[in-house]
Amino acid sequence: MKPAGLKTTENSEEPLEAPALQQSPLLMEQIVILDFGSQYTQVIARRVRELNVYSTILRFDTPAPEIQKLGVKGIILSGGPSSVYAPKAPLPDPAIFDLGVPVLGICYGVQLMGHFLGGKVEKGTKREYGKGTLTITRKDCPLFRKLPKSLQVWNSHGDKLTRLPKGFTSVATTDNSEYAAIENTEKSYFGIQFHPEVVHSPRGKEILSNYVRGVCGCRPNWTMQNYVELACEEIRAKVGKEKVILGLSGGVDSSVAAALIHKAIGDQLTCIFVNNGLLRHREAEVVQEVFGRNFNLKLQYENATALFLRKLKGVTDPEQKRKVIGKTFIDVFQTATRRAGKAKFLAQGTLYPDVIESVPIDGNPAHMIKSHHNVGGLPEGMKFQLLEPLRNLFKDEVRQLGLELGLPKEIVHRQPFPGPGLAVRCLGELTPDKLEITRNADRIVVEEMKAADWYYKTWQSFAVLLPVRSVGVQGDERTYAYTIALRIVESQDGMTADWVKVPYELLERISTRITNEVSGVNRVVLDITSKPPGTIEWE
């Protein structure tokens, strides 16, 4: 069972603060991104880190003195959906422009610069959305170093600058704006009306590199190789000689957290693995083999299959299934922690996006992107302090860290698996026979996707058992058996998804194997629904 049962629905309303980790000398050269509500803020942060420079996302109104304490080398003002003239427009502390560090404003960010520094922003007579052409008029602008005169960029704005602040000059234009990129050479202030962070701006990463590495002078010292020792020092300093418990699911986040904590404190860590009977093929065996034998972790195996299936007997409603699984998991895990012995810390695989998305931008919890992450507390009755060694990292960095720690590719790059496990892929009431059908069909999908070199190219690929029987002919006999639906999707973050057009030959092999090898199935169909309107999982 993925330890999602520990996640709470409590949400911090405190401003997003820089973790203590950022005081390390390794991270004293960093870029701060002030978040004004853009859907692309996390993408900006990830692009900076891809340049091997540490980035931190902070609330738009973070006081300038707090930013200065971080040893910031540059500031990026994100985009956002507001107008600078809106009554409740998010506005930064004006003192950020007195910190003496370079500032880059992106979209709404450049409009803020114009608004604060004496320029003028107005509604555009023509909105600019989607692809556009940027024409560079000042080749000596450091943002466009070694770039051609004409670039494809991605726009998303209605307002635009109509008068430049004092000391600024225009360095690039688009069809709709003579101030598509601006520069104040003396203060190293830059503003761009387009989004360099998205893939639709093909040379955008080079623009960010020119700012981060060139203008700000940041060195490329943010690597997972460097991070390992840094994180281990932090863990040892926080834990001391105390014991740590971690709910290990076999998923990427908990696996990497386990490997990292074990490297830091060894046998002070006990991992608890709960088998709820809803796992993938050989999941329990693989986890015990990799972590118990290869990594020599203290692994406490809890086989609660019979209990979970008993609790789920007769339950068909998807939401009720999730509630039963979550509550049962917490009960089993709490009992298991008592058997594990006294521990002060509970480790969780919280990631940086979990932290960011659980903090409301405007102070209104209703405006948060997500509200279910495991931040902000523990279930009542669990008396632990939290240890979250991955809370500074994005998912791709966690995967890199896992490889650095020696975890096998099969775990580090495995596809996401839902917290309720096969319960959301076996529709209707759960029985041991139906779960075994789902598990075997899913195994075949994974095997064939890997054999065809498609598994690691897709976000998720799996089998769903439908509560539908149909007539078939197998071995010259009439059958009345279940239907399996194939779900193969591509996505960046799971928020949206589209079905993958895999070769017909691959679909044929999967279908043939499932109908030949999985008893109780005589039909295979393909789900070609995108998200939205559908979801990735069926329940």
Residues 6+ apart with CB under 8 A from 465: 425, 426, 427, 434, 437, 438, 441, 482, 483, 484
CA distances from residue 493 to 43, 374, 496, 498 in whole angstroms, order as listed: 11, 17, 7, 12
Distance from C-alpha of 166 to C-alpha of 371, rounded to nearest angstrom: 43
Catalytic residue among 195, 218, 262, 426: 195
CA distances from residue 185 to 178, 188, 215, 217, 488 in whole angstroms, order as listed: 18, 5, 11, 15, 50
Q: Catalytic: 372?
A: no
Q: Catalytic: 517?
A: no
Catalytic residue among 29, 107, 157, 206: 107
Cα–chain-centroid distance for residue 252? 12
Catalytic residue among 183, 197, 302, 448: 197
At 358, list the tokens. Answer: 């659980």
Cα–chain-centroid distance for residue 64? 28
HSE of 28, CA atoms in CB hemisphere, 13 A: 6
Q: Catalytic: 107?
A: yes
Q: Which residue has the tokens 């494809």?
A: 152
The residue length of the chain stands at 539
Strand partners, 12: none
Helix (H) or strand (E) holding 490: strand 477-490
HSE of 190, CA atoms in CB hemisphere, 13 A: 27
Active site amino acids? 107, 195, 197
